[in-house]
Amino acid sequence: MTDRYAVIGNPVGHSKSPLIHEAFARQTGQDIAYSRLLAPLDDFTATARRFFAEGGAGINITVPFKQEAWRLVDVREGGAVTAEAVNTIRRDGNRLIGHNTDGLGLVADLERNLGIRIAGSSVLLMGAGGASNGVVQPLLERAPRQLVIVNRTPDKAEALVKRFASLSPTLRATGYAALNDERFDLVINATSTGLDGALPPLPGTLFAPGALAYDMMYGRITAFLAFAQARSVRAVDGLGMLVEQAAEAFLIWRGVRPQTAPVIAQLRAEP
């Protein structure tokens, strides 16, 4: 019997997740069907429960529902325990098991695909929402020299730092106005500004020599990536992270981790 999976989000029509998981299934000989589900902004829980009630085996969750998904599940495992955000759910009988594969996907893309050394680097993480929640612990586990979280609402960044403070003394929060005297080797945009074309108030001196600007959004040159490119900074979108976190979800669901390099290359080659 074909097992059914889906990605739930709003918006979700642009999602490449079906293409990715279909490629993984062909590669590994798995029998699955994978679709997109658009959930109303006020109706994620009902949409997810309906999918599982109809026999769905698992879902991926994208913006803006990752924190709501954390509240939905019966059990949280792995990175989801501390992240307070869930991007992958598997059904186990009548229980929903929540995972967060975002951080593993980000670190894999940075280190394995892009050749970035996180250890000893100065890292800036923009945003304190569901996307950031999922990547703080995996980034800290790579031992950066410092990890700074910046957010338009500093209180949210402070709350995130407080939750993970026991993992590293180099973790701290700040506001955008305090970035004028800072330089970072790696700047990660985990905000949703890539969807609406807005740009946080970033100083032009933000990037250290040889820095990488990384946007978790993919498929377009966001305002953040354009900002970095205008300053001759290497700028990369989050397509690799998308594929890598999907591979971790596929492993959770199917017990096999597919090869990601050919799928990333396939998606990069598409118009």
**Can 16 be counted among the known catalytic residues?**
no
Question: Model pTM?
Answer: 0.94
Give the least confident one: 91-100, 127-136, 226-235: 127-136
Q: Which entry of 16, 66, 156, 162 is annotated as an active-site residue?
A: 66
With a CB cutoff of 8 Å and minimum separation 6, the contacts of 179 are 124, 150, 202, 203, 206
- What CATH number was assigned to the domain covering residues 3-100+242-269? 3.40.50.10860
Burial class of residue 1, CB neighbours in 10 A (0-12, 13-18, 19+): exposed
What is the fold of 103-237?
Rossmann fold (3.40.50)
pLDDT at 73: 98
Determine how β-strand 146-150 pairs with β-strand 207-215: unpaired
Distance CA 232, CA 208 (A): 11
Among candidate residues 19, 20, 11, 12, the one with its CA nearest the CA of residue 249: 20
User: What confidence score (pLDDT) does residue 185 get?
Assistant: 98
User: Which candidate, 161, 226, 239, 149, places its Cα nearest to that of 190?
Assistant: 149
Confidence label for 226 from pLDDT (cuts 50, 70 and 90) = very high
Where do the structural domains in the chain lie, given as residue ranges? Answer: 3-100+242-269, 103-237
- For 220-255, b/e burial (b = at least 16 CB within 10 A) is eebbbbebbeeeebebbbbbbbbbbbbbbbbbbbbe
Contact 107, 53 (CB under 8 A): no
- Give the alpha-carbon dihedral of 212, 21, 87, 1, to 10 degrees: -170
pLDDT reported for residue 200:
84
The larger pLDDT score, comparing residue 82 to residue 96, is at: 96
pLDDT tens, position by position, 14-43: 899 999 999 999 999 999 999 999 999 999
